[in-house]
Amino acid sequence: MAPLSGFTDLAYRRTAYRCGCRYAFTEMVDAASLAYANGNGEVLLKRGDDEKFLAVQLVGADETLLTKAALKLNERDFSLLDFNLGCPVPKVVKKGAGAALGQNIDHALRCFEAISKVSKFPLTAKMRILDENDPEPTLKLCAGLAALGAKALTVHGRTREHFYTGEVKFSIIREVQAHFPDIPVIANGGVNSPETYRQMRERSSCSRVMLAQGIMGNPWLFRELAAGSPPPTLEQWRETVFFHVSEMIALYGEASAMRQARKIVHDYLKGRGFPAALRAEASTLTVLDDLKRLLDRAEPVQTSGTIRKILN
């Protein structure tokens, strides 16, 4: 499961594990905020006693701050540290970080090297392809990261400009895997169903696949891909939504958790044939009893045994 900013906290990850997720990341953590102990770092970095594997993802473009942040992370327990070179959102790229840093190869490699000099964790990197037609820029970045000791490379098959839509360029990912056969190349982008998963595996020749937006409101996709399991029944859907929000309450307290849970419940409702009134009700959740009432009344228009996510 990809590091999804604003989503993949401990409650989100625990829900995903129950649905077949094997490996998960914290949300993206800003180096400056971590270096100066600003923001909500404690919640972002919280690892559950039941998490056998947890990677932390760091974002930033200042070598000094990245060094300080990596040293702070050394005080904690993670399975690996991933460096973000792919986030395309404006608040990240305007600081020269994320996908903007990925396009500045020399600076990106200096930043990665700064982290590698002090981090006690194995290092990986997540990036976007740098050119849709020419694999060379992407290969140059990957070669530099590999030379600096990257243990795996996650490649989102779209450029920064395309954000999360548009065609995934499988051929570029395939070139990366071919040039670095000894490094796991994890493909990312556009996988939201068994069909798109098979397409990614076959056309990119990747080692592994990272799921992102495809599992938002649909954590069962992990088990569907790994074991051929069917989509959830209505009762399984209800139980999982309740578990997820209950875990959020344990993490944040009821008042804060229920405000944050509105977008989470929206994702669970989206594309499953539930009436619009129910989706509107999700925007007003205040206490756990509100969720209980919503779940009790939740009946999709379709009547089959499972409630498959319908993709737009």
Span 92-125, pLDDT tens digits: 999 999 999 999 999 999 999 999 999 999 999 9
Distance CA 28, CA 57 (A): 5
Strands (E), the chain: 25-30, 55-59, 80-85, 123-128, 153-156, 185-188, 208-210
Residue 312: pLDDT band (50, 70, 90) is very low
Residue whose token pair is 């990366």: 176
What pLDDT does 308 receive? 78
Q: Per the structure block, which two tokens stand in for 97?
A: 């970080």
Query: Would you give the end-to-end CA distance of the chain in angstroms?
Result: 21
Residue 251: pLDDT band (50, 70, 90) is very high
Span 287-304, pLDDT tens digits: 999 999 999 999 876 655
Span 162-198, pLDDT tens digits: 888 889 999 999 999 999 999 999 999 999 999 999 9
Residue 280 pLDDT > 50, yes or no?
yes
Burial 153-170 (b: 16+ CB within 10 A, else e): bbbbbbbbebeeeeebbb
Residue 155 pLDDT > 70, yes or no?
yes
- Mean pLDDT of the residues in the chain: 94
Coarse DSSP helix, strand, coil percentages of the chain, rounded to the nearest 5 percent: 50, 10, 40
Residue 256 pLDDT > 90, yes or no?
yes
CB 31 within 8 A of CB 252: no
CB 70 within 8 A of CB 122: no
Amino acid, res. 90:
P
What positions carry a catalytic annotation? 87
Residue 225 pLDDT > 90, yes or no?
yes
The share of the chain scoring above pLDDT 90, in percent, equals: 87
Distances (CA, A) of 156 to 57, 104, 130, 261: 15, 17, 10, 28
Residue 311 pLDDT > 60, yes or no?
no
Q: What is the mean pLDDT of residues 38-61?
A: 90
